[in-house]
Structure 1
């Protein structure tokens, strides 16, 4: 689809008039009509304003790509950068082998051409496969910045791994004497153990109950 038909389609999708577009661009209605009739070609400034207005890329507006998403071209170029000398079939097989997930070659090609925007989950898989952060896909990159990004990603992963290890819960060993073991084993102790479990689940610290226990013990001695 060429620019003239694309402009008309986008305008009608939003129920806008040629006058609405003309006022936004600071042009006459006749000028916009000329664009839609392919009698006049817009300059780059007009193209950029229209792309921003409709929330699409300039390439989509010119009919070069089929995906409306303004990020699709940038994401696609970065996927192609990651692909390198591999065919799309080889890249698909490589992702499947490393990640255990299949992304079909045909889809990878559509992503790389900017004709389809990958779902968030798909982009996460490609990012992890390539060893980059997801933000990598939304900026212009070269082989040099790609290598830097992989190094940065590797450092962040190592740091996260260390932090995670430090946060592992520590298990404290509680030594139980033989007398307590015998008491726990008694059938008559079951009700007390259930009560203790309820107190624990309620989040009541044992120290709070100590005064109450002392009072009960004192009253028992008096009786």
Structure 2
């Protein structure tokens, strides 16, 4: 964090760093002297009173000396603090751990916002191995990899299955599927065919005609054909099925 400070009758930027020792570049002292400030009047601390300063690698840092300088922050206190003189020409001072308290500076960290972890989608996998002939249509027995039954939205990950609302019973569901190719298709047990959406379906969209009940309602062949036809049309763009 950078603030504005007044030292030696100069206004300079000041870097607030709670992990550093307060220091002033020799270049600022030279500038103040050039502007007419009596630098020789500053109180110089003896070497015996200087506490060694080490960097993060435990290497001792070298300074030209330590002097007491009055420092004032904008709308803050004006106090005399000991500045380590750094041998560089930087244009800002460093306000560290040995000065913040005297200057009534408090560094307040904002509360950390809780991290939202995205929930992994619940997979829908094939419950039993199934063979689908070319241009064949079947009801795939699928397994819900979750702990709850009820109505859920299925987003397919394989061609030939359309998105829709399905009813899970005893963690299983029947999913209409068509093989729209000239080659046979084999679905292996445990193979993923889609995942469940945890959010509710958008209001105003009625997918009840596509809803399959794996336990309480048995579709007639004609109903099954219509459901398959509609879902395949939405999924593949094919308007007519071969029977």
TM superposition score normalised by structure 2: 0.18
Structure number having the greater helix percentage: 1
Structure number having the greater strand percentage: 2
CA radius of gyration, larger in: 2
TM superposition score normalised by structure 1: 0.19
Bigger relative contact order (CA 8 A; separation at least 6): 2
